[in-house]
Amino acid sequence: MKIKILIVILLVSFGLAAEEMRALWIPSWDLVNRDTIEDIIKKAAKADINTLLVEVRYRSDTFYIPNRYSTAFPNPDSSSRLLQEKFDALQYVIDRAFVYDLKVYAWVTMYVATAGDMEKNNNNNPWFRAPELLTTDVNWRKMPHNELEGAFLDPGIPAVQNYLYNVVLDIATNYRIDGIQLDYIRYPGTGWGYHPLAVELYQQDVHNPSRERWHKWRCDQVTELVKRIRKGLRNHAPDVELTAAVIADPDHAYKEYNQDWLLWLRKGYVQRVFPMNYSANDDDFKNVLNKIALHGYKNQTVMGIRAWNNSNGYKAEDINKKIDITWKRGIWNYALFSSTGLNENDYWKNLLIRKSR
């Protein structure tokens, strides 16, 4: 009898642990008014999506109310110019998701600070408010707002780390969310990150500078913020899961962007990662998927899958196939990018969300 009871307990525990995440990224431009949000949530629930990843911070702006109930974590950001009506978009998502039994993760862009189009940046953006925090190249040229994804804050500056830590903890402690997703939690590339203060601090920390030590020091700056946020959540919002959207190829992420996400998993600094495996080509998708799977952490991996079309014939069936490929490799969790692509290409009607039988 005791053996049977133990088996039942193990089966129940395994079933709970094996419950997969079927997530949808909802970008900021799909949070601009209540009607758009309502439409997406209804479609997501009908399609068997169970988790919403909601971009409540686009470029140093808010789709929520900063310091709503508490100022314990001072947050200087202000309302986004993208909003079409004045409302608390995050709280609205939380309220509507509750009706459909969907989980809500606050998706927060981190080091990237500006939109390429200056019209989308509010007057409180760090570009205007704190330009001394923006990263530079080796010649100390400030990163332009219209290069790459936008101008980045420099991870090597302590004030930047404090600022971003407070933003994340402010959201986590003032809203009843299931998780936080860190995005752009990396350097913009090897050509940036040479802010004079960052270089000075590096030289103080490292007595025998070298290219390898410079790379490691940069990785450490990003990792330390992730580690600090994880500790802060444990202390102040223990029910909020910490996740990160990451460059899919772990070697490329580490070498080119100083994003050591395998270390984050190994050390428990994040509870899940979302590799952005967005190739439309099945073979390329498989190659990255296989590389990720070889490192283990399958239960802590949520595979990011492309759900948009750039006039190349990408169909809903291609999304379905990539979900199957992911499952066959033993990774049960996946996330579709994005609600915009699903709507614009009318993918919803032919989308087959695969879930546990």
Residue 3 lies in a domain: no
Residue 7 lies in a domain: no
For residue 45, is pLDDT > 60?
yes
> What amino acid occupies position 344?
E
Residue 98: per-residue pLDDT: 98
Residue 356: per-residue pLDDT: 57
Average pLDDT value over all residues in the chain: 94
Percentage of the chain lying above the pLDDT 90 cut:
91
Alpha carbons 159 and 170: distance in angstroms, whole number: 16
Structurally, the chain folds into a number of domains equal to 1
Which two tokens mark 164? 């971003």
Residue 269 lies in a domain: yes
Q: pTM of the predicted model, to two decimals?
A: 0.94
Burial 70-102 (b: 16+ CB within 10 A, else e): eeebebebebbbbbeeebbbbbbbbebbeeeeb
Residue 265 — φ and ψ, nearest 5°? -70, -45
Beta bridge partners of 273: 244, 301
Residue 6 lies in a domain: no
pLDDT digits (tens, 9 = 90+) for 287-314: 999 999 999 999 999 999 999 997 778 9
| CB 168, CB 182: distance < 8 Å | yes
Radius of gyration of the chain (CA): 21
For residue 188, is pLDDT > 50?
yes
For residues 247 and 5, which has the higher predicted lDDT (pLDDT)?
247
Rounded mean pLDDT, 142-171: 97
Confidence at 344, pLDDT banded by 50, 70, 90 = very high
Q: DSSP for 101-159?
A: T-EEEEEEE-SB---SSGGGS-TTSHHHH-GGGB-B-TT-PBPPTTSTTS-BB-TT-HH
> What amino acid occupies position 343?
N
Residue 15 lies in a domain: no
Residue 46 lies in a domain: yes
Which two tokens mark 5? 């009871």
Supply the CATH number for residue 317's domain: 3.20.20.80
Residue 5 lies in a domain: no
For residue 330, is pLDDT > 70?
yes
Residue 93 lies in a domain: yes
Range of the domain at 197: 21-350
